[in-house]
Amino acid sequence: MKNLLYILGLIILFLANACEKNIDWETKELPVMLVVEGSFTNEYKKHEVKLSLSAEYFYNKPTPHVSGAILSITDGKNVYNMIENPAGSGSYETVDSLAGVAGSTYTLNIHLSEPVNNATDYYASGQLIQGLEIDSLITALYENPLFNMDSEMDSLILIAVTIGQDPEDINNYYEMNLYNEGELIHDTIDEVYITNDNEGINGNIINSFLFFEQFDEGNTVTLEMISVEKAYFDFVATSQKLANQSFDPFDMSGPPANAVGNIEGAEAIGFFKVGYVSRASAVASYPEQEKE
């Protein structure tokens, strides 16, 4: 027992001394790379692409924007030019509003005014895959039974019921977004909901989805479902595992590698997402039995 106490004392002393010292973290230097964030959908609007540069792990400023580039999107027949708006922001949008067509493949072309890691030309392609159409949406609020037990979940549970038709002959992958009063609830990739039609959606007309989110009675709830390519589904899934460190420690293959984007032409980070969007809105309310 005395030996155990002695060992524990040494450990505590070591930790106390370590806390008083500044630790110099040595990080591996990686080349600066282009970062691409953008999407093209069936929505009639001006579609946006953002360009920036990668930064070191401990970089505590906004990542630098890439300005002055020439961007365009093509479907093989038509070319849709993009302009930087506002100037110097690194944010580019199509000159005109337009809507993608299901079944078509769209390619983003990027030409930089100055090379990044000795490269100036990049491209990415994606197919716009037909997804389900949401015909109507019903929401029901329920009190979270675990809320008073130090639960990290929100106090209300939202159940969204969609009525639509998922194409049976297509293996679809979906990104699902929730909006509260028009505001997107989760806007980072590590919190995005993703699923596929093998999980009960395929061919079904009525689908129920359970979300642990905070809504108040009377709030306008919007559910957005985006049919995406499997490559984007895998990109998001891997990014979330890396961000949350949710890999199996007993998996002999080890943790997942970096998330693989679809930017080609030179080494780059990010994804040009092509997706089919459908959304519907409803007013959040409690079921009649919950009000009594």
- Measured CA to CA, the distance from residue 22 to residue 29 in angstroms comes to 21
Q: Is residue 263 part of a domain?
A: no
Q: What is the model's pLDDT at position 80?
A: 98
The verdict on 123 and 144 lying in the same domain is no
- Single residue among 127, 159, 185 that ends a domain in this structure: 127
Provide the pLDDT for residue 150.
Answer: 53
Do 286 and 146 fall into the same domain?
yes
Residues 72 and 187 in one domain: no
pTM: 0.79
CA pair distance 264, 243, nearest whole angstrom: 24
- Closest listed residue to residue 268, CA positions, set 36, 65, 38: 36
Same domain? 201 vs 81: no
Q: Are residues 102 and 240 in the same domain?
A: no
Q: What is the pLDDT of residue 74?
A: 98
**pLDDT score, position 290:** 52
Peptide bond connecting 31 to the previous residue in cis, omega within 30 degrees of 0: no
- Residue pointed to by tokens 């302009």: 83
Check whether residue 100 and residue 159 sit in a common domain: no
First to last CA, the chain: 61
Strands 173-180 and 193-196: antiparallel
Q: What is the pLDDT of residue 26?
A: 47
The answer on 152 and 72 residing in a single domain is: no
CATH number for the domain harbouring residue 114: 2.60.40
Read off the tokens for 134: 């949401």
- Inside any domain, residue 15: no
State whether 116 and 137 are in the same domain: no
- What is the residue type of 125? S
Distance CA 99, CA 82 (A): 14
Other beta carbons within 10 angstroms of residue 87's beta carbon come to 9
Q: Which residues, listed in sequence order, are joined to residue 109 by a DSSP beta bridge?
A: 72, 123
End position of a domain, from candidates 80, 108, 127: 127
Residue 2, domain member (yes or no): no
Q: Point out the domain boundary residue: 106, 127, 148.
A: 127
Q: Is 199 part of a structural domain of the chain?
A: yes
CA atoms within 13 A of residue 224's CA, in its CB half-sphere: 19
SS (H, E, C) the chain: CHHHHHHHHHHHHHHHHHHCCCCCCCCCCCCCCEEEEEEEECCCECCEEEEEECCCCCCCCCCCECCCCEEEEECCCCEEEEEECCCCCCEEEECCCECCCCCCEEEEEEEEEEEECCEEEEEEEEECCCCCEEEEEEEEEEECCCCCCCCCCCCEEEEEEEEEECCCCCCCEEEEEEEECCEECCCCHHHCEEEECCCCCCCCCEEEEEEECCCCCCCEEEEEEEEECHHHHHHHHHHHHHHHCCCCCCCCCCCCCCCCCCCECCCEEEEEEEEEEEEEEEECCCCHHHHC
**265 belongs to a structural domain:** no
- pLDDT at site 104: 97
55 and 180 fall within a common domain = no
Residues 42 and 155 in one domain: no
Q: Are residues 186 and 167 in the same domain?
A: yes
- Please check whether residue 115 lies inside any domain of the structure: yes
pLDDT tens series, the chain, 292 aa: 444 334 434 444 444 444 444 444 444 566 899 999 999 999 999 999 999 998 754 445 677 999 999 999 999 999 999 999 999 999 999 999 999 999 999 999 999 999 998 999 999 999 999 988 888 888 888 776 665 555 554 545 566 566 566 666 667 899 999 999 999 998 888 888 998 876 656 555 656 777 778 888 899 999 999 999 999 999 999 988 887 765 454 444 445 457 789 999 999 999 999 999 999 999 988 887 555 4
Radius of gyration of the chain measured on its C-alpha atoms: 24
User: Residue 158: inside a domain, yes or no?
Assistant: yes
Domain that holds residue 240: 133-257+275-291
Is residue 53 one of the residues assigned to a domain? yes
Return d(Cα 200, Cα 234) in angstroms, integer: 19
The answer on 178 and 247 residing in a single domain is: yes
Structural domain count of the chain: 2
pLDDT of residue 251: 47
Single-letter residue type at 63: T
